[in-house]
Amino acid sequence: AAGMAAPTMEERKACWGARDEFWQCLDSHGDDAAKCEKLRQAFESRCPQQWVKHFDKRRDFLKYKKKLETEGYHPPEAAGKS
């Protein structure tokens, strides 16, 4: 099956580099993906499809985590406590 082979070290580095550039672009443009379209295309063309999906999920998770860290997690009040 073509395309299922594990990426070489060079390919992994190219993928990670493209991902980092894309993420930096998103960071500096407040996650405006339209401003980072070219980097997004480079990211998708250099990384296996599965990785792109994984990294997208990972970024959402990291953003969520950072939000919790900056705003704090407010658990719902336990019922019955006075």
What pTM did the predictor assign? 0.76
| pLDDT value for 72 | 83
Residue 75 has pLDDT above 90, yes or no: no
DSSP class of residue 8 equals P
Residue 77's φ and ψ, nearest 5 degrees, are: -60, 135
| pLDDT value for 42 | 98
Tens digits of per-residue pLDDT, 38-74? 999 999 999 999 999 999 999 999 999 998 998 887 7
All residues at 6 or more sequence positions from 18 whose CB lies less than 8 Å from its CB, including other chains: 39, 42, 43, 45, 46, 47
Angle at 25 between CA 24 and CA 28, to 5 degrees: 85
Domain extent listing, the chain: 9-67
